[in-house]
Structure 1
């Protein structure tokens, strides 16, 4: 009788998986990701509210800002173009972070990055940035934006040559459970993502806020 029960349960599980496109429905990580996503939306909206207050106080662009939530796995989209008028995320992308002492271009710290403001640390820095001048980059689509760190946690960004640029190694789509390739501290997006973001930054009449947080 017991063996029949196990056989029936196995058949039922396989049938359900087949109906679900072959994905497991028991113990699936999908529901955990969805739940986490909902929680992070609340967190993102709160950050956006704070960002809007900062932008108003410092004469930054109040139409949109860039929010990067480094608490999310690097294989998930955690780079947000936030529409401050509509109070919602308008675009989201993958973004890489610094590798530190781990191997360059690998994903060793995909779910537990560390951060530093120290030169040669090869780590990303948390805090608010003013997106600066547009210039030539050796990477990706050959365009970069300078990043002016506005806090004690990131005020060495220019000295460290931390800039916003694209990287051909970055994917357009989520790669979870794998992570995004890690560089030397710059927030990097895919070439296609950068081509969408570039006009927003280039045509902005006021400085744009990028806020990297954990």
Structure 2
């Protein structure tokens, strides 16, 4: 049976429209896929460049400032019969993701070891890094802040944290006189990294200076081997 010409034309038109719509949809899908692929590549490239830029432009602590503090520290140690071979200096003006805990050798007049150290979170959440570049300090009990000033590193004792070693800290100035009543001690913490983490920060506790477990295994024998009290000076 012969199909009337108008109907035949309509069938061809419908087929053409369907094919055209299919092709259009396929092209649209390819275009969307291509745009998404470009977006992913651009985002990945930006993150890589940004990470590389931050790594290459990582700030450094002011070593000259540390040298100046070391001179003052040595004068203090001589006057108060503290260990005159070395001291511990902590510069809180440095970003917490950078090394700011320094073992300073008085004999060699230089930093011999440096590492990350955590500070107190104050009113921010515990174990976060919200004040990584702008810490607050307080001597008030319950503040959960670190306290600036000179400390005598005292008795070695058992700790529930890190490698189970802590050192009692005796505050020697008005700014840290409540250290013992606040239970501020020097200990390690598994949340602290062995290496710099900038631009990230070091997790913040309740006011104690905290270093990594691996680094405490280095510092502990040094402190145990000292016949005289060792100075820890936290400053900004």
| TM more than 0.5 | yes
Report the counterpart of residue 205 of structure 1 in structure 2. Answer: 227
SS at match of 2:66: helix
1:155 aligns with 2:177: yes
Report the counterpart of residue 136 of structure 1 in structure 2. Answer: 158
SS at match of 1:139: coil
Deviations 1:24-53 (A, max 9, x none): 699x4456545x43xx11000000000000
SS at match of 1:198: helix
Report the counterpart of residue 42 of structure 1 in structure 2. Answer: 64
Aligned counterpart in structure 1 of residue 188 of structure 2, from 127, 143, 166: 166
SS at match of 1:180: coil
Deviations 1:6-28 (A, max 9, x none): xxxxxxxxxxxxxxxx65699x4
Output the CA distance in 2 between the equivalents of 1:60 and 1:23: 48
**Equivalent pair of 2:58/2:198 in contact (CA under 8 Å):** no
Aligned counterpart in structure 1 of residue 113 of structure 2, from 61, 80, 91: 91
1:122 aligns with 2:163: no
Unaligned runs of 5+ in 1: 1-21
1:190 aligns with 2:212: yes
Please identify which structure carries the higher helix content: 2
Report the counterpart of residue 107 of structure 1 in structure 2. Answer: 129
Report the counterpart of residue 78 of structure 1 in structure 2. Answer: 100
Report the counterpart of residue 179 of structure 1 in structure 2. Answer: 201
How many pairs were matched up? Answer: 190
Output the CA distance in 2 between the equivalents of 1:55 and 1:32: 37
Q: What's the C-alpha RMSD, in Å, of the aligned pairs? A: 1.7
Deviation at 1:62? 0.4
Output the CA distance in 2 between the equivalents of 1:94 and 1:53: 26
Which of structures 1 and 2 has the bigger CA Rg? 2
Deviations 1:74-123 (A, max 9, x none): 00010000001100000001000000110100000000000000000000
Output the CA distance in 2 between the equivalents of 1:24 and 1:96: 26
**Equivalent pair of 2:81/2:228 in contact (CA under 8 Å):** yes
